[in-house]
Amino acid sequence: MNTTTNAATDPEVASLNKELERLDSPGRIALLAERFGGGVIATTSFGLQAAVMLKLLKDNAPEIPIVFIDTGYLFAETYRYAALLEEHLGFEAVVYQPAITAARREAIWGRPWEEGAEGMEQYARVHKIEPMNRALQELGADAWISGLRRIQSSTRSGRAIAEKQSKTLKLYPIIDWDDEQVDRYIREHALPRHPLAAAGYVTMGDWHSTKPGVRSAKESTRFNGEKYECGLHLDSGQQDFQI
């Protein structure tokens, strides 16, 4: 079973965390780009705060490939927002999709997200984890930058800037940002906002498992309140990442 390694138990990860903790987010991204070179990728969901990480990456490490996992079930507004941000920031995401289309999945196997926890886990493996595995392998990456933040959920509150997930080093340059910092950065840099932010959405994912809500209870807005994580950023023992 693949696991996420506690940063305190891995000397190399612990040392990297000490370096990263002394830097601001632009400095962290610049260091990671220099340290890992062609072996690092970043991911984006084109969610509500995605513009922040994308702007930081564009300004501080434009050579890092940005991967977009397209589940086939994102809101129409998310697809349009992705195109808007790509044009605004001047980049093109590398898109990875499941091996099976959404239409074929439903025609043959139905809607697994309506079948409880087991169905949701199976959905995550097919539509998120497998494409992410493929991205890591095909792009030759053993380091992965993500825009996770501690304040987003209870499952993220104790995470370090760097951690190991199986053989992949995961890196969170804005892990310590709060919502006010995010909002201020978006305003100061005049970044486009996701159109569903104005419709009351405080988190963003697939249309079938995300609903509007309030920031103080954002975990209840995903997967009928049964869980928050989509499958890519679960705790120890719950991932299927291969490298």
Which residues are part of the catalytic machinery?
230
Sign of the torsion angle spanned by Cα atoms 39, 47, 60, 161:
negative
- Measuring CA to CA, which residue among 141, 168, 160, 162 is closest to residue 12? 162
Residue with tokens 């697939």: 206
Q: How far apart are CA 151 and CA 218, in angstroms?
A: 10
- Measuring CA to CA, which residue among 181, 160, 204, 213 is closest to residue 52? 181
- Token pair in block for residue 68: 């977009």
- Measuring CA to CA, which residue among 126, 31, 32 is closest to residue 71? 126
